Amino acid sequence: MGPLVERVRSPIPRGDAGRLGAARPATPGLFTALALLVAIPACAQSVSMSGSLGDKALLVIDGAPRTVATGATVQGVKLVSVTGGNAVIEVKGKRVSLVMGGAQVNLGGAPSDGGGTQIVLAAGSGGHFFTTGTINGKSVQLLVDTGATYVSMGAAQARELGVDFSKGQRGTASTANGVVTVYRVKLASVRVGDVQLYDVDGLVGEQPMAAILLGNSFLSRFQMKRDNDTLTLTKRY
């Protein structure tokens, strides 16, 4: 097969609306029931953390992004505290710890099976989208990069993840530091939040990398929409 070459692509796209009868006395019991329906908010079925800003956290509650301040409650989810990439929430009196970019948590506190369809990320320093995730079941730090053809990493990171890149297809890639030797591999699974994909194409370079690039071999499976500092990935297939 021909040589592998990485090429820079376009930035993340930005997101793109008779006569009524005589009145009768109301039944007190009916008013009471309606009042209860209005007063009781819908409780969240799932929640995950996508970002933080000071004392606020970007939580994805039942698939919808919500910015929640410490001490505030949204859909029965109370934000107790937020520190960097971690948050503590309280649901029905039970406290649950969330990790930014981690799997969605249901009301019982158990992680989902990765069968979700949407990822919501918050921009970090410099407008970049960093998130935690897993590759082959192991936790990693990821950087969304639409200019990367594959999920890309350095050799040291590949070894930590148990990726035997020596058996991969050898080629070259153009980088800021020149042309480097790379190996195309197959990653058993890549997961971000509540979404897990299988058999994802990856690229391993011999030079070290600060973060693993979440490239188009993963991103192309999603419709991407950016709204200010929020990036929403909706799974297409």
Please enumerate in sequence order all residues whose Cβ is within 8 A of that of 115, keeping only pairs 6 or more positions apart, or say none. Answer: 194, 196
User: Token pair of 204, please?
Assistant: 């391993």
pLDDT in tens, 167-189: 999 999 887 778 889 999 999 99
This prediction's pTM: 0.65
pLDDT of 11 > 60? The answer is no
Would you call 158 helix, strand, or coil by DSSP?
helix
Please enumerate in sequence order all residues whose Cβ is within 8 A of that of 202, keeping only pairs 6 or more positions apart, or say none. Answer: 135, 150, 151, 152, 153, 163, 184, 185, 186, 187, 217
Instruction: Tell me the mean pLDDT in the region 146-175.
Output: 93
Pairwise CA distance, residues 184 & 205, whole Å: 9
The more confidently predicted of residues 216 and 108 is 216
Q: How far is CA 41 from CA 7, 32, 44, 60, 93, in A?
A: 49, 16, 9, 17, 16
Whether residue 134 contacts residue 160, with contact meaning beta carbons closer than 8 Å, is answered with no
Whether residue 104 contacts residue 193, with contact meaning beta carbons closer than 8 Å, is answered with yes
Pairwise CA distance, residues 53 & 195, whole Å: 24
pLDDT of 156 > 60? The answer is yes
Whether residue 29 contacts residue 19, with contact meaning beta carbons closer than 8 Å, is answered with no
Domains of the chain: 32-112 (no CATH), 113-237 (2.40.70.10)
